[in-house]
């Protein structure tokens, strides 16, 4: 018989969730909705009940500066919890997603060349209140017996509930998708990416020091 049995989870994938104060969410959401309507009026050719996205430079728009301040605050908290050394960071892209009911799902994807990605939820209809994360390990489907009860050890997808006023951040390499919904109300969210500002100038340099006559410490 076993004297002791334990299960240790290694290599965890963190998702950081924040909920805005109601008064802050109301202010940010109003500004975001007004901006979306402005862009909608300026965008010809949009079809009814069509999923569409804005340009990816909304971080420069004055209407979203309150939100960008919250993104910076949340990112700083994440990097502090991760105990990482960094100089500064910047939002490299920011765009609005408008998904009406009855449209196609947003297929699984990642956000290359960034450290963090995130979403702020402006308007969340019933049935459209989740984001789905996929297990990034390609080997997880080699052997796949039937699941009796889904849990964190046997699931390949994790459905993360969201609501208006929620701000979540996650590793930019983590595959994620959004299911379609049937509500009459549009689902409106603001997506963004964050990267280290000095990555190319400082952080990408090798982390080992050259010593004459020593063996290489990296594979390339």
Tell me the CA end-to-end span of the chain in Å, nearest whole number.
Answer: 47
144-159: per-residue pLDDT in tens? 899 999 888 888 999 9
CA distance 41 to 35: 10
What CATH number does the domain containing 31 carry?
Answer: 2.60.120.620
Query: How many Cβ atoms from other residues are within 10 Å of residue 49's Cβ?
Result: 11
150 is a domain residue: no
Mean pLDDT across the stretch 125-149?
90
179 is a domain residue: yes
207 is a domain residue: no
158 is a domain residue: no
What is the predicted pLDDT for the residue at 213?
A: 44
Count CA atoms closer than 13 A to 135's CA, side-chain side.
13
| Residue from 55, 189, 192 nearest 114 by CA | 192
68 is a domain residue: yes
Its pTM surpasses 0.75: yes
89 is a domain residue: yes
6 is a domain residue: no
- Count the domains in the chain: 1
Structural domain boundaries enclosing 54: 20-126+164-197
16-34: per-residue pLDDT in tens? 999 999 999 999 999 999 9
52 is a domain residue: yes
Mean pLDDT across the stretch 164-171?
98
């Amino acid at each position: 018989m076993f004297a002791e049995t334990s299960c240790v989870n290694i290599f965890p994938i963190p998702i950081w969730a924040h909920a805005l104060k109601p008064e802050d969410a109301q202010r940010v959401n109003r500004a975001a909705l007004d901006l979306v309507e402005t862009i909608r009026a300026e965008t010809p050719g949009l079809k009814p009940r069509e999923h569409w996205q804005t340009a990816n430079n909304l971080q420069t728009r004055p209407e979203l500066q309150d939100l960008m301040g919250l993104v910076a605050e949340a990112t700083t908290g994440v990097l502090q919890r991760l105990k990482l050394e960094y100089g500064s960071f910047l939002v490299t892209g920011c765009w609005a997603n408008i998904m009406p009911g009855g449209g196609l799902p947003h297929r699984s994807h990642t956000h290359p060349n960034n450290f963090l990605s995130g979403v702020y939820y402006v308007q969340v209809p019933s049935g459209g209140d989740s984001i789905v994360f996929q297990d990034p390990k390609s080997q997880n489907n080699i052997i796949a017996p039937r699941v009796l009860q889904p849990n964190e050890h046997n699931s390949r997808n994790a459905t993360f509930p969201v609501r208006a006023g929620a701000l979540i951040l996650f590793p930019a390499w983590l595959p994620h998708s959004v299911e379609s919904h049937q509500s009459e109300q549009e689902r409106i969210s603001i997506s963004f990416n964050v990267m280290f500002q000095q990555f190319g100038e400082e952080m990408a340099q090798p982390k080992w020091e050259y010593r004459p006559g020593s063996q290489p410490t990296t594979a390339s």
